[in-house]
Amino acid sequence: MKYLVANWKMNQIDFISWQDEFLKNFDNANFKDIKIILCPNSTELAKINDNKIDEFLLGAQDVSRHLDGPFTGQISAKILKNKNVQFCLLGHSEIRAEGETNETVLQKAARLDTEQIEKILCIGESQKVLEKGERNEFLKNQLESFFKSNHKPAFIAYEPIWAIGTGIAANTDSIKDSVDIISKFIKNYFDFSIPILYGGSVSSENIKEIVSITGIEGCLVGNASLDSKEFANIATKI
Ligand code: PEP
Give me the pLDDT at residue 66, please: 98
Alpha-carbon gap, residue 176 to 172, rounded angstroms: 6
Task: Supply the pLDDT for residue 142.
Answer: 96
CATH of residue 72's domain is: 3.20.20.70
Q: Respond yes or no: is residue 94 known to be catalytic.
A: no
Q: Is 21 a catalytic residue?
A: no
Which protein residues are within 6 Å of ligand 1, measured from CB? 7, 159, 164-165, 199-202, 220-224
Q: Residue 190: what pLDDT? A: 84
The Cα 57–Cα 85 span in angstroms is: 8
| pLDDT at residue 225, rounded to an integer | 98
> What is the pLDDT, as a whole number, of residue 186?
94
Write down the pLDDT at residue 24.
Answer: 96
Nearest CA to ligand 1 atom 8: 222
Per-residue model confidence (pLDDT) at position 188 = 87
Give the integer Cα–Cα distance in Å for 76 and 180.
Answer: 34
pLDDT given for residue 19 in this prediction: 97
Question: What pLDDT tens digit does each residue of the chain (238 aa) get?
Answer: 999 999 999 999 999 999 999 999 999 989 999 999 999 999 999 999 999 999 999 999 999 999 999 999 999 999 999 999 999 999 999 999 999 999 999 999 999 999 999 999 999 999 999 999 999 999 999 999 999 888 899 999 999 999 999 999 999 999 999 999 999 999 988 888 899 999 999 999 999 999 999 999 999 999 999 999 999 999 999 9
Residue 203 has a pLDDT of: 98
Number of compact structural domains in the chain:
1
Which H or E run contains 197?
Answer: strand 196-199
> 233 C-alpha vs ligand 1 centroid, how far in Å?
17
How far apart CA 141 and CA 220 sit, in angstroms, is 22
> Smallest Cα–Cα separation from 199: which of 137, 121, 131, 135?
121
Residue with the nearest Cα to atom 3 of ligand 1?
Answer: 222
| Domain with 147 in it | 2-237
Instruction: State the Rg of the chain over Cα.
Output: 17
Which atom from ligand 1 is nearest to the alpha carbon of 224? 8
- Residue 97 alpha carbon to ligand 1 centre in Å: 14
Is residue 37 a contact partner of residue 57, using CB atoms and an 8 Å limit? yes
pLDDT confidence of residue 94:
97
